[in-house]
Amino acid sequence: MKVAGHVRVPGDKSITHRAFFAAALAQGTSWVEGALTSRDARSTAALLRRLGADVSPLRRGARVRVGGLGRLLEPPDALHCGNSGTTARLLLGILAAHPFRATVTGDTSLRRRPMRRVTVPLTEMGATFVEHNNDGLPLSVTGGPLQPLTHRQQVSSAQVKGALLFAGLAGGVSVDLIEPSGGSRDHTERLFRGLGLTVETVRGGEWIHYRPTGGVVPFELSIPGDISSAAFLVGAALLAEGGELSLEDVGLNPTRTGFLEVVRRMGGEGSVHTEPSRMALEEPVGTLVARPSPLSSTEVDAAEIPSLIDEVPLLAILASRAEGTTVFREVGELRVKESNRLELLAANLRAIGSDAEVRGNDLYVTGGAAPPVGRIRTAGDHRLAMAFAVLGTVPAARVM
């Protein structure tokens, strides 16, 4: 099969959520172009409407208008975040600074995901939480005047970091964070800086300091394509028999491009390359080009994981077609994504005839040339579905 052409992928999910939240906190009208219109983005838009923001309908290709009041209003009833972890965690951060009680919930998958990683530091800042399901949603939060926070995160998580920075912004207090080495995606920091707010990062981005200098002024932003969506097409292009695929106007933030480094190690320097084109506020954007390549195994170390956390399923699929054994170190966080992504990934790879194993928090995948044939189980996890769909493009594959 040949994979060739020029493609644009839907807008970046992480930036879309953050842009909507920031716009709702601005007093006046902001415009967001290229926003993701998927169900997760709709969850954020819908609940912001119930919190007083005037968000126009999300339609592919249409700009989104967000009329913000400078603060959120008390919602009439529970706030449903659907399947979206980013929505839930960022929202909890913002609600922590608002003087009313609100209940936040989500679908079955989201209700299983850990929330104390945000509620513990938010409690330290002065918010009050009532748990209804241990560490998970639903949760009730009563916000209030907040105190400054100094916090060392136990896990690299941009959702936790984002929640705490948004709490600092909405509450008008300083927030000083330290992330484990190989800090997480820095979209919140870049957006804040792009909006003229004061965020400093030191030590390669793992130390983050927010200082309150005022609120959000209405803004315009053109969101780039989501590199995590582009990754699946890059995977299909690498496994193809011919062609060259160009993905245009895609976000190239270095805290998101870790998988490109791994792909270069597996497929050689010529397998993928990037060409910068523009900046979206502080976010670098460009074209990503991929072409077919024989693949060899590699070791992906713990410090690389945050920059490719959502691409592990795709990279594991590539590893199943590479010569040798690829190891992904310290990928235990995948157990608390939309599914137990780590165990399901290994089980599904075995189900289609590959050799895959989880040892502790490490994932081992040994490649082979036999066509992948078998039935997989996604448990409703979109990244597993997409990764195995890519594997289904291999000649003679039968992946169901």
Q: Which of 83, 159, 253, 255 binds ligand S3P (CB under 6 A)?
A: 159
Residues in contact with ligand S3P, total (CB under 6 A)?
10
Dihedral angle computed from the Cα positions of residues 142, 144, 147 and 152, in that order, rounded to the nearest 10 degrees = 20
Residue 162 touching ligand S3P (CB under 6 A): yes
Q: Which of 37, 43, 86, 257 binds ligand S3P (CB under 6 A)?
A: 86
Per the residue annotation, which of 12, 226, 249, 310 is the catalytic one? 310
Q: What CA–CA distance (Å, rounded) separates 143 from 134?
A: 20
Of 256 and 321, the one with the shorter C-beta distance to ligand S3P is 256
CB 315 within 8 A of CB 271: no
Tell me how far, at minimum, the Cβ of 40 lies from ligand S3P, in Å.
9
Of 238 and 331, the one with the shorter C-beta distance to ligand S3P is 331
Tell me how far, at minimum, the Cβ of 358 lies from ligand S3P, in Å.
18
Of 184 and 293, the one with the shorter C-beta distance to ligand S3P is 184
User: 343: which 2 tokens?
Assistant: 């165990």
Residue 40 touching ligand S3P (CB under 6 A): no
Q: What CA–CA distance (Å, rounded) separates 37 from 57?
A: 9
Instruction: Choose the binding region for ligand S3P from 98-106, 126-134, 152-160, 346-354 (rule: CB under 6 A).
Output: 152-160
Residue 44 touching ligand S3P (CB under 6 A): no
Q: 3-class SS at 185?
A: coil
Tell me how far, at minimum, the Cβ of 309 lies from ligand S3P, in Å.
5
Q: Which of 233, 295, 309, 344 binds ligand S3P (CB under 6 A)?
A: 309
Q: What CA–CA distance (Å, rounded) separates 16 from 14?
A: 6
Is 107 tagged catalytic? no
CB 193 within 8 A of CB 199: yes
Residue 179 touching ligand S3P (CB under 6 A): no
Residue 310 touching ligand S3P (CB under 6 A): yes
Angle between helix axes 85-95 and 158-171 (nearest 10 degrees) is 30
Tell me how far, at minimum, the Cβ of 144 lies from ligand S3P, in Å.
25
Burial (CB < 10 A; 0-12, 13-18, 19+), residue 277, is middle
Residue 14 touching ligand S3P (CB under 6 A): yes
Nearest CA among 265, 260, 255 for reference residue 307: 255
Tell me how far, at minimum, the Cβ of 28 lies from ligand S3P, in Å.
25
Burial (CB < 10 A; 0-12, 13-18, 19+), residue 212, is middle
CB atoms within 10 A of CB 150: 12
Residues belonging to the active site: 310
Give the binding site for ligand S3P (CB under 6 A): 14, 86, 157-159, 162, 184-185, 309-310
